């Protein structure tokens, strides 16, 4: 099963230290984070621990090879 593609661009955010649950299925209404919409799909969120405040480019297309951050995979996806 392929993930849904909620955005063909990354979600660039300034984040504070903490735990973040990145949505891997693309179904969450709270992108780029998990809201539990993956239930029954076989997908699970990717837990990312941020140790210091920084800017993060969370993957929006859900096809990155460097989950949960964008690696430019959205540029290779068909429209």
List pLDDT tens digits, range 41-78: 999 999 999 999 999 999 999 999 999 999 999 999 87
Q: What is the DSSP letter of 9?
A: S
Q: What is the pTM of this model?
A: 0.94
- For residue 79, the model assigns a pLDDT of 64
- For residue 66, the model assigns a pLDDT of 97
Long-range contacts of 29-35 (CB under 8 A, 24+ apart): 31/6, 31/7, 31/60, 32/58, 32/59, 32/60, 32/68
Task: Flag whether pLDDT at 34 surpasses 70.
Answer: yes
* Residue ranges of domains in the chain: 11-76
Q: What is the pLDDT of residues 2-25, one digit of tens each?
A: 999 999 999 999 999 999 999 999
């Amino acid at each position: 099963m392929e993930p849904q593609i909620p955005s063909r661009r990354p979600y660039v955010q300034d984040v504070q230290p903490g735990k973040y649950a990145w949505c891997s299925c693309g179904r969450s209404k709270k992108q780029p984070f998990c809201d539990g919409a993956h239930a029954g799909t076989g997908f699970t969120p990717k837990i990312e621990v941020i140790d210091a405040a920084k800017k993060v480019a969370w993957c929006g297309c859900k096809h990155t090879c460097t989950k949960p951050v964008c690696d430019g995979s959205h540029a290779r996806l068909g429209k």
